[in-house]
Structure 1
Amino acid sequence: MKRHTISIIIPILNEAKHIVSLLQTLLERVKYTHHEILLIDGGSTDKTVEIVSDFIVNFRRWHHTETNRCVDNLFETEKPTIQIQLFSSDKGRAKQLNFGAQKATGNILYFLHADTFPPKHFDEYILQEIQKENKVGCFRMKFDYLHPVLIVSQFFTRFNVNWCRGGDQSLFIEKSLFELLNGFDESYIIYEDCEFINRVYEKDKFTIIPKSVKTSARKYREKGTWKLQYHFAMIHIKKSKGATPEELYTYYKKNISC
């Protein structure tokens, strides 16, 4: 059986407070160790780059120690070979995601937001779908905040229709299919994941893994849940009526990022 390698691609920007928690969680929850983690920084102005760089140095030091231990222990069946790398790219999540895909050595790409935590053995679930020839899909999603609006929103992530999809659910895809679809459209400063997933639905069968990632509701807490959900809905409606990437971003800047 062919051994697939997953490239976990994480775009980051000013994630100094949270990124170590995500990396530690990934290392705890990954089942196999022949994957790679690629962090793509889009120009952080806090200590994100410094924190990630220190984490990688410490991890490689531990990795070296564990590798030597495995060599000496005849009962070990697999050395800890997972790789973590940090890259810098132009700002913009679509650009960061595409850059990560270019640098990826795995034949499976797994796009993950910096505030989204996958379930235990997430890589095994992805590989099971790949073995069934399901080339692209995502997990269900739960928020870390029990608000009625978000409970309803997360419930709909179990349904396999494109309007229930979003980047917070994470996305796995065979690299060959990603390249066939020409990656993310970099003209989208926001909505890049939804635009890409809409193209996926037109091209291939999409799969929903019946396990949940948990994503942060920090923006909802900051902006107000009802208000933010309304504006996200308006962005979807505007896109369905033909709004350009620039028009979507203008609306976002005015109503969400202000």
Structure 2
Amino acid sequence: MKQSNAVKISIIIPVLNEEAYLGKLLKHISKTSSPKKIMEVICVDGGSVDKTVDVINRHGAKVVHSKKGRARQMNLGAKQAKGEILYFLHADTLTPKDFDRQILNAVEQGHESGCFRMRFDTKNPILRFFAWMSKINHTLCRGGDQSLFIKKHVFNKTKGFNEDYLIYEDTEFIQRLYQQTKFKILSDYVITSARKYREQGWLKVQFHFAMIHLKNYFGASPEDLYRYYHKNILS
């Protein structure tokens, strides 16, 4: 499909002490996209104390300094972005080849928001099954690890990420996008790190994430969700 050269993507990556992963991602973005379609790569740092900012500068991305909190960081990145399309990406998630072209095609077909399917960097059969479920176009199968593209004017109209959420901010926002846009699941895959599952055990992490989904469904507040996360996953 023919694409307008005027429409470009701003990539927004919230980071906090990500020196171990970020350099690989920034190199990978260059290899899997075209500079003609990418306006900028904005890394919004929440106060890293490692060499994250040095990594960003070394790879020629833009550094934006922010208070800690992914919702706050992503909103600030979106505010400064110049592209017509915003693409939110985690520091440990790798893009598929020609991801920029795939996003632009979806937008030209009338989709104002969407994501890719996801695979974990592991052969664990249970995690592979949960990743397979990312093909299903339902809010229960969505998460920030799948990345997110959205037209900037739609982001502004929907007021972006809710900064009351210290966790679950991606899912809460996507739930609103399902209500207001024609959300698209692209058929290609991003590859995301299973590091949290390796560090703490896949069964423990998956169980507690499922409980967080359930608590949200029954109306738990952002503070309640974070308290549960902090007690059972961070501790």
The alignment's TM-score, normalised by the length of structure 2, stands at 0.96
Q: Which residue does the alignment assign to 2:13? A: 10
Partner of 1:46: 50
Contact 1:94/1:186, CA 8 A, preserved across alignment? yes
Q: Secondary structure at the match of 2:132?
A: helix
SS at match of 2:19: coil
Q: Which residue of 2 aligns with 1:162?
A: 139
Q: Do the aligned partners of residues 185 and 152 (structure 1) sit closer, same or farther apart at CA in structure 2, a change above 3 Å counting?
A: same
- Which residue number corresponds to residue 80 of structure 2? 103
Asked whether the 8 Å contact 1:32–1:123 carries over to 2, the reply is: no
- Deviation of 1:243 after TM superposition, in Å, equals 0.4
Q: Is the 8 A contact 1:135 1:177 kept in 2?
A: yes
Counterpart-to-counterpart distance in 2, 1:190 and 1:115: 17
The answer for the alignment partner of 1:61 in structure 2 is none
The SS at the match of 1:17 is helix
Question: What is the letter of the counterpart of residue 50 of structure 2?
Answer: D
Deviation at 1:32, TM superposition (A): 4.2
Counterpart of 1:24, as a letter, is K
**Could you tell me how far 1:34 is from its partner in structure 2?**
4.2
Measure the CA separation in 2 of the matches of 1:54 and 1:155.
35
Equivalent-residue separation in structure 1 for 2:152 and 2:69 (angstroms): 21
Larger radius of gyration: 1
Where do 1:143-162 residues align within 5 Å? 143-162=120-139
Letter in 1 for 2:234: S
Task: Give unmatched runs, 5+ long, in structure 2.
Answer: none
Is the Cα contact below 8 Å between 2:16 and 2:45 reproduced in 1? yes
Consecutive unaligned residues of structure 1, counting only runs of 5 or more, are: 57-83
Out of 233, 243, 248, the residue aligned to residue 210 of structure 2 is 233
The one-letter code matched in structure 1 to 2:11 is I
Q: How does 1:126-205 map to 2 (within 5 A)?
A: 126-205=103-182
Q: 1: CA distance between counterparts of 2:178 and 2:37?
A: 29
Could you report, residue by residue, the CA deviation over 1:92-132 in whole angstroms, capped at 9, with x for unpaired residues? 00000000000100010000000000100100000001111
Aligned residues: 231
Match of 1:68 in 2: none
3-state SS of 1:160 partner: coil
Distance 1:250 1:136 in 2: 30
CA shift for structure 1 position 146: 1.2
Identity %: 49
- Residue of structure 1 equivalent to 2:70: 93
Matching residue of 1:37: 41
CA distance in 1, matches of 2:125, 2:23: 30
Letter in 1 for 2:206: Q
Q: Is the 8 A contact 1:117 1:215 kept in 2?
A: yes
- Are 2:97 and 1:120 equivalent residues in the alignment? yes
Moved over 4 A (4+): none
State whether residues 11 and 96 of structure 1, in contact with CA within 8 Å, keep that contact through their aligned partners in structure 2.
yes
- For 2:90 and 2:69, how far apart are their aligned partners in 1? 13
Q: Distance in 1 between matches of 2:56 and 2:195?
A: 21
